[in-house]
Amino acid sequence: MEATIPDLIRRHDVPGPRYTSYPTAVSFHEGFGEADYRERLARADESGDAPLSLYVHLPFCAARCLYCGCNVVISPRRSVSGPYLEQLLRELDLLAAALPRRRRLSQMQWGGGTPTYYPVSDLVRLFGAVGERFTFTDDAEIGIEVDPRVTSGEQIDALAGLGFNRLSAGVQDFAPEVQAAIGRVQSEEETRALVERARAAGFRSINLDLIHGLPRQSAAGFARTLEQVLALRPDRVAVYSFAYVPWLKGHMRRIDPGTLPSPGLKLELLALAWEAFTGAGYRAIGMDHFALPDDDMARAAESGTLSRNFMGYTVQSASDLVGLGISAIGDVAGAYVQNVKKLSDYAQALAAGRFPVERGYALDADDQVRRFVIGEIMCNARLDFAEVERRFGGVFERDFAAELGALAAPGGAMADGLLERTADGIALTPRGRPFVRIVAMAFDRHLGAVNAGAKPVFSRTV
Ligand SMILES: C[S@@+](CC[C@H](N)C(=O)[O-])C[C@H]1O[C@@H](n2cnc3c(N)ncnc32)[C@H](O)[C@@H]1O
Ligand code: SF4
């Protein structure tokens, strides 16, 4: 007999990572420091002239949304954002000096926080500084995150003029009761104005973010939000699962846990999004994205070239990713590196001419195989065993017998109909797609050590 939804939730709604990296950031440690980062940059520079991905973290927001899990600096006054920009330019200089031969970018993303917290003149200055040191490939993906409540038409036009071609805007939910509960009031009109302006300015791909699992969400209210979003016809939509982590983000304690939807309702909201978007011609992509069939993300998903990194699902992801700004994460020559999170530490390191590295992680051979396996599951919802053997050697079914056995055991993902064996490996079933993190977790060698700690770490998978 097929497992019921309550059975599935009981067995599979557990804390788990979102796998924007493997190993996840929880495994990064302070034993990996600036000297290690410099050594990896040198290796990356020697490896040829393949293009890079560049992430720039602009952390400022005028006010905090109660659900926010990002690394932000709330600053209603602008006294700290000016010095931060100067420090960012210094870090950019250090980076360019460390990469004399790797100066092409196939992808650049400005995220936050709210990058459009900065006025046009600062955005132009920062973009110009990157452009003086790096060149963009012809088809480079140049993206920015914007908050419709604070982003002006002039900023949109200026960004398009600079060369930004992808824009991602936060919506979360249009229902007034939800907006009140999350401390983020944003009208449909201001969102429409932003989307129309971006389209007119020439942005090639416009993404809207929604979240399911927010306080006071209901099926009827979310269905209305989905209609309102569909009316804007974004090229892409992300429907993130609310990561409720009050032990990490103290401001989330201001959300009354009694107002959060049950796991069953949370799953129902995702199912509503699934029906609404696929019914309107969007392709379902990865764990939480939808894209129109002619958008690059849908094409990448179809051709199996979608990838996942700290920016989420991406199309033009390069082999090496470098990050600038507080908390930014890089992925360079087989190692992850993360910057310090505090503004004061960031300023101090750069004043001394040092990369502001806080921690990192060098992947070993086993990590590399598992990173590929987990990436395939998260991006393509399937795994071809022969492909793993071709890339890394070994015999998949022998080397991963324990993992496959656990998935097939009673109460495991395969036994519960979330995952099936195929001619060449394993694939998630349609009902298994919302539980993709559970399947990925079966291949995570670090999870045991992380969960053995006294403190909770990850949000729940449903
Ligand atoms: C840096 S923010 C977006 C940019 C801009 N500051 C805004 O709010 O419109 C990126 C996205 O992360 C998502 N997000 C933030 N906190 C989250 C959480 N705790 N759980 C799930 N998604 C979250 C939201 O959908 C948000 O739009
Ligand atoms: S959701 Fe966006 S605007 Fe709200 S606090 Fe987070 S980064 Fe800032």
Q: What is the pLDDT of residues 78-96, one digit of tens each?
A: 889 999 999 999 999 999 9
Alpha carbon of 146 to ligand 1 centroid (Å): 10
User: Relative to the alpha carbon of 145, which ligand is closest?
Assistant: 1
pLDDT tens, position by position, 308-361:
998 889 987 788 999 999 999 999 999 999 999 999 999 999 999 999 999 999
- How far apart, in whole angstroms, are the C-alpha atoms of residue 85 and residue 92? 10
The percent of residues above 70 in pLDDT, for the chain, comes to 96
Tell whether the model's pLDDT for residue 454 goes beyond 60.
no
Closest alpha carbon to 112 in 168, 157, 155, 161: 168
Selection from 430, 406, 151 nearest residue 275 by Cα:
430
Q: How far apart are CA 248 and CA 252, in angstroms?
A: 9
Pocket residue to mutate for ligand 1, from 58, 65, 67, 194, most atoms within 8 A of Cβ: 67
Residue by residue, DSSP assigns 361-386 as EE--HHHHHHHHHHHHHHHHSEEEHH
Q: Could you tell which of 71, 81, 147 is best to mutate to test the pocket of ligand 2, judged by most ligand atoms within 8 Å of the CB?
A: 147
Ligand 2 center from residue 252 Cα (angstroms): 13
- Residues contacting 393, CB < 8 A, separation 6+: none
Q: Using alpha carbons only, how large is the chain's radius of gyration in Å?
A: 22
Q: What pLDDT is stored for residue 433 in this prediction?
A: 86
- For a mutational test of ligand 2's pocket, the pick from 81, 114, 172, i.e. the residue with the most ligand atoms closer than 8 A to its C-beta, is 114
Residue whose CA is at the smallest distance from ligand 2 atom 1 = 68
pTM: 0.95
Q: Is the CB of 170 within 6 Å of ligand 2?
A: yes
State the pLDDT confidence band at 434, using cuts at 50, 70 and 90: confident
Q: Does residue 455 surpass a pLDDT of 90?
A: no
pLDDT over 90 (residue 7): no
Question: What's the mean pLDDT in 414-425?
Answer: 94
Q: Residues 419, 429: contact at Cβ < 8 Å? A: yes
Distance 302 CA to ligand 2 centre (A): 32
Q: Are 44 and 102 in contact (CB under 8 A)?
A: yes
Lookup: tokens for 54: 């560049």
**Rounded CA gap, 172 and 178, in Å?**
9
Q: What would the two tokens of residue 357 be?
A: 């590295």
pLDDT(295) > 80: yes
Ligand 1 proximal residues by C-beta, below 6 Å: 61, 67-70, 111-112, 114, 145, 147, 169-170, 172, 209, 211, 240, 242-243
For ligand 2, say whether the CB of 209 is within 6 Å of any of its atoms.
Answer: no
